[in-house]
Amino acid sequence: MMETLHTLLYFVVAIVLLIGFHEFGHFIVARKLGIKVEKFSIGFGPKLFSWRGKDGEVEYIIAAIPLGGYVKMLGENPDEQEGIDTDGNPISEVDLKRAFNRQPVWKRASVAVAGPGFNIIFAIVAYMIVSWMGHLAMPSTVGVVYPHSLAESQGLMTGDEIVAINEHPINSWRSLEEGLKKHVGEEVHLDVRRQESPLRFSFVLPQPEKDAFLIDVADEVLGINLGVDILIDKVMPDSAAEQGLLEAGDQILAVNGDTVKSIHGLITVIGSSADKPVNLQVKRQASRLQFEVTPRADASGRGLIGVQLKAKPWAEPFMQRSGFVEGVVYGFERTWEVSKMTGEMFKRMVSTSIAAENLGGPIAIAQMAGTTAERGMVYFVMFLAFFSVNLAILNLLPIPVLDGGMLVFLAIEQLRGKPLTPALMMRIQMVGVLLIMSLMVFAFYNDIMRLF
């Protein structure tokens, strides 16, 4: 129960911060450009608190449902575009001149871009803070080279430190993995330090069957990993693992006599053994034990034993921390890298090279918020930065009701010399609403299926 409340709390904090900052971007740019803003709300639904600013123009609202927010500008509603306010009264000529719909295209486009723009600014600053605070990272040193792998055939060895990919410096295992993802299907040049001697390995990194963004390329394609102990973090009630007498804290050494080198390798064996007994060799405290467990088939026929796993690296993490100038540079560079990766992910989802089943919804976001917060404030800030970039890119998609859809409408208006009719825009926006609602329902369904 407490774990659920913890996750929910950090989810709400993330939503309020990021969507609030997004809406603040629309708000502040509209105000600076002289557009009349009537309401700025954090949350939806009934008002909990409201007050007006010093000029009395804007009503600031804290609403009951803290899962979003909005900015209400004069001239957004169809009636207001005809000069009538929401109460049916005529709008003064002075106010009409400040109405959103009466502004030149460049002003309205600036307001539309400001929301995603402020999310990008948030991410840049958050990554700067992460860099200044410092966070633990794993060294890019090879712990295990798999037999018969690409890495073994090229001569990589345990203890090799990978320092660059295609001339791009590598300073952690994460940057190694991200670098490999960028170059699947291409020739790769790995610069390696072996006992202080520089070496270079050149080869073509094969294109995997699954999209590179969905797999561990170092492990599953190149055939290396940090070297990890695979531990059971949690055993689900009434699961095959519980019936097989497995316990939290058990270290899985081997499955069916083969040494377990990675979580992916273990999951692959278990997944292909639905309704077939598997033999697990486990280390429990100082004892080595053998258990026979029969994975149960899920809806897709994949075998599951009902455990949560975690990997404990053999290597010691190190603290990555930057000075002021380096942190500023990192903020911009990291935001750009995450923006490119996010854009590529959206493109691949549209082209169906990444299956829609990988789309996550509010439950997945909440779990990420809770998990990163448990690890520490710096990791929660990293999550906020990543989520903020995703929110910015999502809102720039050319879908009606999103900021990107508004930009499309404005581009059409600029080309035609006049806007689309309110009736046509309303019909197009209804299509956008239906599309967004469908995506949300599908993402929520994916979340539920992952839980069960």
User: Which residues are designated catalytic?
Assistant: 23
249-267 residues labelled b (16+ CB within 10 A) or e (exposed): ebbbeebeeeebbbbebbb
Beta-strand pair 187-194/59-73: unpaired
CB contact at 8 A, 93 and 83: no
